[in-house]
Each structure stands twice: as C-alpha cells, then as structure tokens.
Amino acid sequence: MLEKDDAATSDGAGDSGGSFSGPCPSPVPRKTYSRSWSDSGLMLPRHDPNGGNDSWDPNEDNGGRGLFKVPSNFKTRGNLRARSNLPPLQPLTVTHGRSEPAPVSDDVGKLPPCKPVWRDSNGEQSKLNLSSVHGVGDNYELLRKEKRAIFDKECSKVAEHIYLGGSAVASDREILGKHGITHILNCVGLVCPEYFKADFVYHTLWLRDRSSEDITSILYDVFDYFEYVREQQGRVFVHCCQGVSRSTSLVIAYLIWRERKSFDDAFQNVKAAREIADPNIGFACQLVQCQKRVHSFPLSPNSLLRMYRISPHSSYDPLHLVPKMLKSPTPAALDSRGAFIIHIPSDIYVWIGLKCETIMERDARGAACQIVRYEKLKGPVVAIKEGEEPSYFWDAFSSLLPLMGKSSNLVDVTESSKKLIPGERKVSSYNADYEEFQKAITGGFVPPCASSGSTHETHFPVRESCWSALRHKLTTESVKEIASDQNHLSQELIFSAQQN
C-alpha cells in the first residue's frame, strides 16, 4: 500500500499507526437498504406528541405514530450479512481526542487479524496494494516518490465541482485559476495556511494523518460544504499535504453518500482520478461505517442507541462544534454544561444541560438535523431540557441498553440519574473541552501552529465558526422548506374538503 499522506509535520502529524476500538468492520454489500423492521420484537417507547416538548419532525409520517418494533433476530441478521470483495481488516483502536475512545463499531462480528489487501469488483488485486514491489527496498521507495512527484502539481478532477490535490497546488494561484476553482477546503490547517484568502472562499480543518484521527464527526459538515458549492455552481479544491489520505477520504465519503456508492466503488473512482489516493487504515474503517449509515443499513444490536456529545473538533478551531460519539451511551454520560444527541431507532433527542451555552445548543440541534438529512431518518428531533425529562426519555435507556449487552447496574444508573439535581451533572473527562470552548466564546486563545510561523498562542475575537454558520444556514433553509411543504399540503386538503 502506498505511504500515507503527509509525512512529517512540525507537530508530529504523520501516521503514527494508532488504534481502533472494537473490531474493524468488513465492507457491506453494494445494494441499499431501508431502515425498516417487520420482525416481532421489543416495543420501544415513543415520545408523547402532546407532551408539550419542543419537537420537530422533518419527515413527518402520520402513519408511523405507533410504537417502533425492534426485530428479535438481530444476531441472525448480522451473521447472514453478505460480505463484499474486500477481506477482513485488522482490528485497530481509534481514540477520538482527549476525552473519549472511538465509537463502537456497527459490525458485531469479530474479525481475525490480517493484512488488508484491497481488491476490485472482479476479485483482482488492486494496484493500491503495490504487492509487486513490496519488499524490494530502495526500488519501492523510489517508485513511491516518483509517483507522488508526478501528482505534486496535479489538480485532479473527481467530479464536476470537486478537485483533489496537495499543498503545492494549494499555493499556486495560476493552477487554481486554470481549473476555475472558487472554494478551497484545506484539511491541514496545522501546516498549510489559507494562501489566497482574497481570491477564494476557504473552509479549514485541522486533521492529522493518523489511524486514530476522528473524521466521522466532521463528515456531514463536509457534505454541507460540497453541496453548498455545487448549488452555487462553484468548484472546490480539496487538499491536504500531498493529496493522498486526508483529502481523498473526505471526497470518498461524499461519493458514498451523494452517488449511493459502496466504499470500494467510491475509492476506485477517486483512485482513477488520482492514482496515489490511499486513505490510512483508520480512515478506511470509518468510511465503511459511514457507508452503513448513509445507505440505511440495518442496525446491529450495539448501535440501537447512539449517543453524541457536542464538543470542539480541534483546539485550533474551538468554535467548530461537532457531535462526537460516546463509547458508553448511559445517563451517567450527560453533563449539565453541554448538549447531547441521543439517537434511538424511533426518535432523536437533543438533551440540553442547564448550563449549556446558546451556541452549543444551536449546534446540537443543527447536528441532529444533519443526521436526519444524511441518514434519511423518519424519527422526529425532540429537544429536552435538563430537569424536564419525560419518562419515555429514561425508558429509552432501560429498554435498549440490555439489548446491547450493557445491562449491568443499568437500573441503578438510570434511577440515580433521575434523582440528580439539575445543573449539577459533571463528567470530569469533558473538562478540557469545556474549558477550551469557554475560552473561545470569551475571546480566548488557540495554540500555535506551523502554518502561522508563530510559537505563541494566538488571540482571536469572539466569532462564529464558518462551519457552524453553514450548518445553521442549511438547517434554517430545510425548516423553511418543510414548513412551506406542510402549508401547501394543508391548503390542498382545505380546498379538497371545500370541493366535497
């Protein structure tokens, strides 16, 4: 396999061969699925539509107001899943940031460790593996360098509005202008500045090329950006250091969602446009999980209840708040200082702590709407304030966690959570992120980075992250469209009634 993107950075941002929590998933079949259940199983509680909670159902289904059935044969479904041509990947462990481990895998099978070898749709070994030159020492190193040198100044077209490349193209105004680039997604703010801010619209991420790096939490923001560029009839240049791992992973994810492709098909599309494309193994595992979610693949037992906390994706952009999945989705994980998304098969709850800042609450609502939009969910988004939790909220934990094999002391945890004084919940492992966020909203400091040429913290005024602004804009437009559609439907019903 080609060497991972971006060798060395001043902060050690190379691929450190990190770890991934739980078994690394196998790819799923290429056909799509709808998230529906016909099996008999446990009846999950739904929210009370007349309960007075702040709720919004972006995909209102008047026929789906009843209880939601969970199939009783989850294990059988998981064991009967067809596998695609990719062999099992070696289990890794991914740690996301300082506070939590990686999200649990959707795949319930335990896979034997093996060296990953990518194959095409005919079962033939892909060029990506480069097995013909492995083990030949200097010849392999020379070939790798030559290949990258060929693409160094290459602005690779993947779609009509998406181009891929490295920092050499990002710093060349002539090449960017030649390809009609209007927007730039810089994936490596740590080492590459926004070279031409007066000429292009920039969005920046602070990703490291490590197997342990979390890209899942920012994928839907990236989809928003690519869709915005497409609607504006613009062209976005997506770059990291060499256009090998980070930038290509984000484009592969977008093709998986936008064109309904499997991971390996999307990967081969990107590789056809840019031969040196080679996501690191941690990114590849996350992309397979992305495929399952955006293609509405049937849920496995350990994904019946997903829980996300809203926190900064990077200390370099502390107001870019993203949903980070928690490994242990229990009531004990709630914190009065923050906002949390609790996603169950029938509903999505946005739990808002009493000490949660308005900015964080708004971003939590927007992130929940992104889940609805990109995963094509039918359940409503229900906002719940701390201290006003209805019984069905707590019942969701006690009903689903036993099915996920997490029944130990569950009753005690749930009951004690109900009795906690509102505003007094606190999880010490979140402290660093909350302190970072508080400094940011009061005009705080961000760490120095290589691209700034500074060795000191940088002071910046209170401002909104461009990512959060875009998310809010698209969410607002979606709500207006839904309201307009509902109003139009109501007028049609009134007219029909008058005619009758």
Where in the sequence numbering do the catalytic residues fall? 240
Distance CA 98, CA 366 (A): 24
Residue 292 main-chain phi, psi, to 5 deg: -60, -40
Residue with tokens 């009839």, as numbered in its chain: 233
Crossing angle for the helix pair 219-231 and 466-499, nearest 10 degrees? Answer: 70
DSSP state letter for 333: G
DSSP state letter for 198: T
Residues in Cβ contact with 349 at an 8 Å cutoff, skipping those fewer than 6 apart: 341, 342, 343, 382, 383, 384, 393, 396
- Would strands 54-56 and 381-385 be described as parallel, antiparallel, or unpaired? antiparallel
Distance CA 409, CA 390 (A): 21
Distance CA 245, CA 262 (A): 18
Residue with tokens 């808002």, as numbered in its chain: 352
Residues in Cβ contact with 475 at an 8 Å cutoff, skipping those fewer than 6 apart: 365, 366, 369, 370
Distance CA 484, CA 335 (A): 36
Distance CA 234, CA 182 (A): 6
Tokens of 443: 């005009």
Q: Are 259 and 287 a contacting pair, CB within 8 Å?
A: no
- Counts for the chain of helices (H) and strands (E), in that order: 13, 17
List the one residue out of 325, 294, 396, 347 whose CA is nearest residue 42: 396
